[in-house]
Amino acid sequence: MNLLPLLQESELIQQELAFVLLLTIAAGVALIIRRIRFPYTVALVLVGAALSLVPNFLPFDVGSEVILAILVPPLLFEATLHIKWKHMRKDFVLIMALAIGGTLISTIIIGEIITWVLDVPLLAALAFGALISATDPVAVIAFFRSLGVSKRLSLLVEGESLFNDGAAIVFFNLMIALAIAGPGTFSLGQAFLEFLRVSLGGVLVGLVLGYIVSYIVLKNLDDHLIETTTTVALAFGAYVIAEEFHVSGILAVVAAGLMVGNIGLQNTSPTTRLTLENFWEFSSFVVNSMIFLLIGFELEIDQLRPYLFPIIVAVIAVLVSRAIIIYAITGIHNAVTPRPQDVPNSYRHVMFWGGLRGAISLALALTLTGEVFGKTIADELRIMTFGVVLFTLVVQGVTIEKLIKYLKLAVKPQQRITQQRLQAAIYAKRAGKQELDRLHNDDILFPEIWAAMSDIYEVEIAEAKQALNTHLHEYPELEQEVFLQARQEVLKAERAAISNAAREGFLSDDLHHDMVKEADNHLAALEIIKENRGLDEDE
């Protein structure tokens, strides 16, 4: 009897159960941190690190291929869908200077420090400098969105990260190739040409595939399921095809996502656009949760202590290099550009402290198995990477919110705070009045007490409503914002009611499709209005 199929089925079930368990843990962590002010991604890393101490908790090994080929592409693709070229082009030169020039400078600075202090071979130190230069802004961007930080600051941080991921991988692979080829093979010109080939080749693959999907599929089809499926194939296909041609798969995914986000979403129907945005938002949440849980699992906390000094040196090197590239490059930018385009000092401080390390650095570190630099050096570099990732996520990730608030980058206008306070007062008073009425109806309160307290509530609710009405008239932009939000919620309720009517059999499929499409058109129009209002306020 052949037991191999049974064993394979058993392993598959174990892996499926592990995946379900990871999703359950991620959902549980998300529920808990809603009650406390703590970064979700940092919490996932800490939980993953704690669970890594449980023997055989995961029935499979997390390799670099799992992170780079399966988890990273959807995360990058979703991020690029929301970046508009018309906004990025204002700071595109600065973003590319930080992503490419900054990564190269950071690689050299970190490599030199590691070689000088820890006596690590130069190429190995430069490989470490390259892999640790890839920034991961996921935790920071989440705070930006919740705190209402400037869109320009968000774009600078996110744009740099999207492109420096690809640059870091290219530099890392160049160092590995040089180490394998041996001494005396280095040619600066040849290395530069190889960098251009790999990076520009990846961008070209992504642009071509993104163009095909945007102009052939999304423009000519009106089926949200097929179109969504096509974008999933694009996200993974761009990476795989680029890697098959030995160019940057990461940059291919970024280019494809930018193409779809800027052209494809404009060519498709509002229904498909809403479906795409909802699907990729969900996918991003799941993949993001998996990545940071797995980072925690791979940190190997028990192995960090013997390498405490190298980790401290690596952390210092990373912070020094980050400070140099941020303040130097933005300083040069401010000196050569008109004053309205200056990067404020407060932005520079956040860009420095927000340079967290994450999935890309970890995935590249996992490829260091000892075949190139030897097992001793590979183990040291890998554990140094774990230590730096842990430091940036836990220390910088936890304190970045305090820095943002200290620099007054998350301060909301006083008029909006007053509006929210008045709305909350009305909501609270009405809830109190409803509870008072319930107590009266259940004969728990005497009629005289109920009447007296009810009169007080009525007066307080009326006063709060009048104050809100006066405030909105004083600030018409707030009144428009309240109207747009209310209109959006009403349209969503109408759309849900149409779908319920179709499920109950009151609407035919054709009529259901037409009515949903009409509601989606209204929602899309509202989104455009809100987006334009947000840009006006940010400028």
Q: Are residues 25 and 42 in the same domain?
A: yes
pLDDT tens-digit series, residues 306-331: 888 999 999 999 999 999 999 999 99
Summarize pLDDT for 90-113 with one digit per residue, the tens. Answer: 888 999 999 999 999 999 999 999
- Which amino acid makes up residue 445? L
Per-residue confidence (pLDDT) for residue 539, from 0 to 100: 47
Q: Which residues fall within 8 angstroms of residue 107, CB to CB, at 6 or more apart?
A: 126, 129, 130, 133, 168, 171
Q: Is residue 525 part of a domain?
A: yes
In a domain, 340, yes or no: yes
The CATH number for 263's domain is: 1.20.1530.20
Last residue of a domain, one of 406, 433, 448: 406
2: in domain:
no
DSSP-derived 3-state class of residue 55: coil
Q: Which residues of 220-259 are buried (b: 16+ CB within 10 A; e: fewer)?
A: ebeebeebeebbbebbbbbbebbbeeebbbbbbbbbbbbb
Domain containing 443 equals 414-538
Does residue 384 share a domain with residue 239? yes
CA distance 57 to 103: 36
Q: Is residue 342 part of a domain?
A: yes
Same domain, 442 and 308: no
Q: Are residues 382 and 420 in the same domain?
A: no
Please choose, from the candidates 324, 319, 343, the residue with its C-alpha nearest in 3D space to the C-alpha of residue 94.
343
- Give dist(CA 455, CA 429) in Å, integer: 12
| Neighbouring residues of 466: CB distance < 8 A, sequence distance ≥ 6 | none
- The answer to the question of residue 6 being in a domain is no
Same domain? 349 vs 423: no
What pLDDT, on the 0 to 100 scale, is given for residue 265?
Answer: 80
The pLDDT score that the predictor gives to residue 131 is 92
Does residue 316 lie in a domain region? yes
- Residue ending a domain, choose from 354, 379, 406: 406
Q: Are residues 437 and 472 in the same domain?
A: yes
pLDDT tens for the chain, 539 residues: list them: 454 454 455 667 776 777 788 888 888 888 887 777 777 777 888 888 787 777 666 666 666 677 777 888 888 888 888 888 877 888 889 999 999 999 999 999 999 999 999 988 988 999 999 999 988 866 666 667 666 677 888 889 888 888 888 888 888 888 888 888 766 665 667 777 888 888 899 999 999 999 999 888 887 777 778 888 999 999 999 999 998 988 888 899 999 999 998 888 877 777 777 788 888 888 888 888 888 887 777 766 777 788 889 999 999 999 999 999 999 999 999 988 877 788 899 999 999 998 888 888 888 888 887 777 888 898 899 889 988 988 988 888 888 888 888 888 776 666 667 777 877 888 788 888 888 788 778 777 777 777 888 888 888 888 888 887 877 777 666 666 666 677 777 777 777 777 777 777 777 777 777 777 777 777 766 666 666 655 444 54
Domain count, the chain: 2
Beta bridge partners of 135: 357
Question: Residue 279 falls within a domain, yes or no?
Answer: yes
Contacts with 254 (C-beta within 8 Å, 6 or more apart), sequence order: 76, 80, 162, 163, 165, 166, 203, 206
The set of residues, in sequence order, having a beta carbon less than 8 Å from that of 388 and lying 6+ positions away, is 132, 311, 314, 315, 318, 357, 361
Is 370 in the same domain as 513?
no
**How many Cβ atoms from other residues are within 10 Å of residue 371's Cβ?**
11
**In this structure, are 325 and 446 located in the same domain?**
no
Asked whether residue 3 is assigned to any structural domain, the reply reads no
344 with 480, same domain: the answer is no
What's the pLDDT score for residue 205?
Answer: 94
Give the pLDDT of residue 184. Answer: 61
174 and 145 in a common domain: yes
Tell me: do 265 and 125 sit in the same domain. yes
Task: For residue 357, list its beta bridge partners.
Answer: 135
Among candidate residues 390, 406, 422, the one where a domain is terminated: 406
DSSP 411: P
Q: 3-class SS at 357? A: strand
* Pair 70, 188 in one domain: yes
